Amino acid sequence: MNETFMKEKPVFGLVLSMSLPMVLSMLVSSLYNIVDSYFVAKISEDAMTALSLVYPVQNFINAVTIGFGIGINAAIAFYLGAQNQEKADRAATLGAFWNGVHGIVLTAASIAVMPAFLRLFSSDEIIIDYAVRYSRVAFLFSAVIAFGMTFEKIFQAVGQMKTAMISVLAGCITNIILDPVLIFGLGPAPEMGIEGAALATGIGQVVTLAIYLAAYLNGALPVKISRSALVFGDEVSGRLYAVGIPATLNLALPSLLISALNGILSAFSETYVLVLGVYYKLQTFLYLTANGIVQGIRPLIGYNYGAGEQKRVKKIFQTALSMSAVIMVFGTIICFLIPDRLFALFTTNAETIRMGEEALRIISLGFLVSSISITAGGALEGLGKGFPSLLISLLRYLIVMIPAAFLLSRFLNADGVWHAFWVTEWLAALAAFAIYRRETGKM
């Protein structure tokens, strides 16, 4: 396959062709998140609260495997742009090896820490029981997630977005179909309750990985994974981790944030913990869609940077920023018009719906400007500048957000946490713009 189209096609059409398949797959992934939570909520509100408590650890597993996958993606795209096939093959091989190791370690560690972790945020034994039962099944598939994310980022790095889209879609659709079957025991399937939701997720991830492997074995990739390319201790491994570690921290920071916010909100009521959990399910429609655009431009920026096409890098960034802004405007409008209907998908409790409606309208004030931080962070990762990208995420999830949530909650109670979201996004957007300008000015 000839990847030179990445520096030859008109920018707008190129960004669309690379991003739309991933946007579609991210939308379906968002739908899975909503459907999964919808069926779990049918079990009980306690089961839904349990998912909210498990989410930070689940997100951390995804962060490690996806974050290192971003390092693989950036390294392969850079080496292909520089016409170095040998190092591109080694980046793919070493990436698969190390991410597999990450998945195995995460399986053991996450299952071991869950009971103690849960008791930091809840003393309700029913909620803890639900959360432990769900997590023990879901976390068994961590290695499958790791290999699946590795192949996703390899296929994206060479511009094969349709293969990545088909694989993700197949896994999500499988998950959506199996959720009610395994949770409620439809047909010959036994009724598994919350464990059924976890198993449906795991089976969907297996389907995604199986399609990637079939495509790879069919010779679809221009980079190869081989034993001879498994060479340690050179610049290739360094490049993988130089982007992979900051990208992992970028993605893991929401886990830290949610845990901190759960601690603040639980002091007022565990219902606020549920509201926060539902918000993070709903916001995936926006942020995963915007992430689809970032996934599309990351290999384009890496390839053109490796090929010395600096003007195209700038145009790609501007195009992606405009597309992300449109998505965020749409999300803001929806959250102002029908927040009550969105929350009614997950609970019938009128007071919980009222609390959620108020939270969505406040938080959505920061959606539009967040497109600057998201796009700038993804573009910097494509340039191999992982630590400046990490700085942007630190501002959004740690340096500004947690202190703002704590301080505002002292004056506005739980509403202070919701106001902290938009305050943080505006401040982080200003910083992200300055950081991106500074880093690209060095190029």
pLDDT beyond 70 at 393: yes
Tell me whether residue 2 is in a domain.
Answer: no
Q: Give domain status of residue 177, yes or no.
A: yes
The set of residues, in sequence order, having a beta carbon less than 8 Å from that of 254 and lying 6+ positions away, is 56, 59, 63, 280, 397
- Residue 345's CB is within 10 A of a number of other CB atoms, namely 15
Q: What is the pLDDT of residues 58-70, one digit of tens each?
A: 888 988 998 898 8
Count: domains in the chain = 1
Nearest of 185, 230, 192 to residue 92 by alpha carbon: 230
Q: Once rounded to an integer, what is the mean pLDDT over residues 380-391?
A: 85
> Comparing 222-231, 352-361, 366-375, 422-431, which segment has the lowest mean pLDDT?
222-231
Q: Which segment of 178-182, 222-226, 244-248, 371-375 scores lowest on mean pLDDT?
A: 244-248
Q: What is the pLDDT of residues 101-158, one digit of tens each?
A: 999 999 999 999 999 999 988 888 999 999 999 999 999 999 999 999 999 889 988 8
pLDDT exceeds cutoff 50 at 358: yes
Q: Which of 242, 91, 232, 211 is nearest to 158 (CA)?
A: 91
Q: How far apart are CA 92 and CA 101, in angstroms?
A: 14
How much of the chain exceeds pLDDT 90, in percent? 44
Question: Is position 162 within any domain?
Answer: yes
Nearest to 324 by CA among 22, 60, 33, 34: 22
What pLDDT, on a 0 to 100 scale, did the predictor assign at position 443? 64
Most confident of 80-89, 141-150, 168-177, 220-229: 141-150
Q: What is the reported pLDDT for 1?
A: 45
Residue 57 has pLDDT above 60, yes or no: yes
Q: Considering the chain, what percentage of its residues have pLDDT values greater than 70?
A: 98
For residue 442, the number of C-alpha atoms closer than 13 Å in the C-beta half-sphere is 9
User: Which pLDDT tens digit goes with each residue over 188-197?
Assistant: 888 999 999 9
1 lies in some domain: no
Quick one: pLDDT band at residue 288, thresholds 50, 70, 90? confident
Give the domain range for residue 277: 7-441
- Reported as a pLDDT band with limits 50, 70 and 90, residue 381 is confident
Using the predicted structure, report yes or no on whether residue 169 has a pLDDT greater than 50.
yes
Distance from C-alpha of 343 to C-alpha of 223, rounded to nearest angstrom: 45
At residue 290, does pLDDT exceed 50? yes
Residue 3 pLDDT grade (very low, low, confident, very high; cuts 50, 70, 90): low
User: In this model, does residue 2 exceed pLDDT 70?
Assistant: no
In this structure, is residue 263 part of a structural domain? Answer: yes
- Tell me what pLDDT residue 4 has: 67
> Is 79 part of any domain?
yes
The mean pLDDT of 321-337, rounded to a whole number, is: 94
Distance between CA atoms of 244 and 146, rounded to whole angstroms? 13
